[in-house]
Amino acid sequence: MSDTYARRAAELDRADGLGVHRKKFVLDEGVYLDGNSLGALPAHVPARMADVLAREWGELRIRSWDESGWWTAPERIGDRIAPLVGAAPGRIVVGDSTSVNVFKAVVAAARLAGEGRDEILVDATTFPTDGYIAASAARLTGHRIVPLDPAEMAAAAGPRTALALVNHVDYRTGRLQDLPGLTAALHAAGALAVWDLCHSAGALPVGLDEHGVDLAVGCTYKYLNGGPGSPAYLYVAERHQAAFDSPLPGWNSHADPFGMTPGYQAADGALRGRVGTPDILSTLALESALDVWDGVAIEDVRAKSLALTDFFLECVEAYVPAGRVVSVTPEAHGERGSQVALRCAEAPAVMAELIRRGVVGDLRRPDILRFGFTPLYVGFADAERAARVLAEVLADVPAHLPPAQV
């Protein structure tokens, strides 16, 4: 049976129009399915960073803020990310971490919502930090948190709702939330929509402008391959920019940053989302990494992502004995991100052994095996091999045996 799927994988890889991009990345002989945690290194980035270190910092030094374009990097890179998430230029600024940008977005949205709206709806299944930040923002602004499943938010939004903070793709299950529908429902209730795009940007079309999203945040080290700890980004819809009131005003977001005046006057546009001096080394590594997206249509990426995850699930069903794993990732394409999550009672032991055998995914305790599919460098042969090795590992790991005994 494995020969049948291996032949199909080879045929699919030969027909894959995105397969040519694989050579742009530093990859080994294994199967890397953890790009939803940390994207692979684009092969040209080390040379770019060597130039940044030796010439821009080493030779030009302070002159590089102007001569090398360091000063304008946050908005310049934001404009490069914009097409990948469906935004026009001037609406995204790069900098700080996702957590910091969540704080900016939630507080700013609470202020934009106005008097009488004291509820913040928070995705109850959210990545934990989003919940922590939202709770702190609520304490600071006098709001209260209402944790809900995203499917319940549309019905729950009402005259007291200021905003909802939602993860576009659930980090555990890979479920894709209904961004257009929920955003429209929140607006109908007079509330704002704040979306976390960490597990969707670079994997599927988002349509921030098209669907009227108010504010959004995201990281760049997953599907955008910006490198460990690469700066995050903040999206501010054009209609909100003039009133966007950041809770972290800094000299970098001042209308006259070098005026050094004691009073704060916000810059125009999304630049209001800047705070302090940007991390130039990580920022420029990200800018270089984004070169891999030149000439790539996000719609093609989405089509391959769905084909890859479909094929992987088919191989898992064919290879793995019934009952050893159960997919918790939705089957419907409209409800699936670019990962597959499998519930497995022996997940910690199984993932450790998968990695030892060259198939790198990751684990979400207590029992979730996560496999991220990054279409620019993951192929169908990778998907088939991962499923086959998973079956081999499960054959060697006794069912329901506590990991410590394996």
Known binding residues for pyridoxal 5'-phosphate are: 98-99, 127-130, 196, 199, 221, 251, 277
Total domains in the fold of the chain: 2
Residue 334: pLDDT over 50: yes
User: Looking at residue 358, which CATH number applies to its domain?
Assistant: 3.90.1150.10
pLDDT (tens digit, 9 = 90+) per residue, 280-306? 999 999 999 999 999 999 999 999 999
Whole domain around residue 339: which residue ranges?
2-18+296-405
What pLDDT score does 125 carry?
A: 87
- 393 to 315, 324, 330, 357: CA distances (angstroms): 15, 11, 24, 9
One domain, residues 323 and 376: yes
**Residue holding tokens 């900016």?**
104
Query: If we measure between CA atoms, which residue out of 193, 238, 199 comes closest to residue 216?
Result: 193
Helix, strand, coil shares of the chain, percent, nearest 5, are 45, 15, 40
The single residue listed with the structure tokens 């700890």 is 229
Same domain as 345, residue 284:
no
Q: Check pLDDT > 70 for residue 403.
A: no
200 plus 340 within the same structural domain: no
| In a shared domain, residues 248 and 330 | no
Residue 19's contacts (CB-CB under 8 Å, 6 or more residues apart) are: 13, 379
pLDDT in tens, 50-61: 999 999 999 999
Give CA–CA dist 388/366, Å, rounded.
Answer: 23
Read off the amino acid at residue 94.
V
Residue 140 has pLDDT above 70, yes or no: yes
Average of pLDDT values for 85-108?
98
> Could you give the CA distance from residue 196 to residue 211 in angstroms, rounded to a whole number?
15
User: Do 13 and 379 form a contact (C-beta atoms < 8 A)?
Assistant: yes
- Given 293, 322, 343, which residue is the final one in a domain? 293
pTM of the shown model: 0.96
pLDDT, mean of residues 368-386: 98
CB-based contact 351:363 (threshold 8 Å)? yes
pLDDT of res. 398: 76
Contacts (Cβ under 8 Å, ≥6 apart) of 252: 95, 274, 275, 276, 277, 278
Please state, in angstroms and rounded to a whole number, the distance separating the CA atoms of residues 337 and 370. Answer: 12
Which pLDDT score, from 0 to 100, does residue 114 have?
A: 86
- pLDDT at res. 353: 97
Tell me the catalytic residues: 127, 196, 221-222, 370
DSSP β-bridge partners for residue 193: 164
Residue 317 phi, psi (nearest 5): -65, -35
CB half-sphere exposure, 392, CA atoms < 13 A: 14
Q: Find the mean pLDDT for residues 388-402.
A: 83
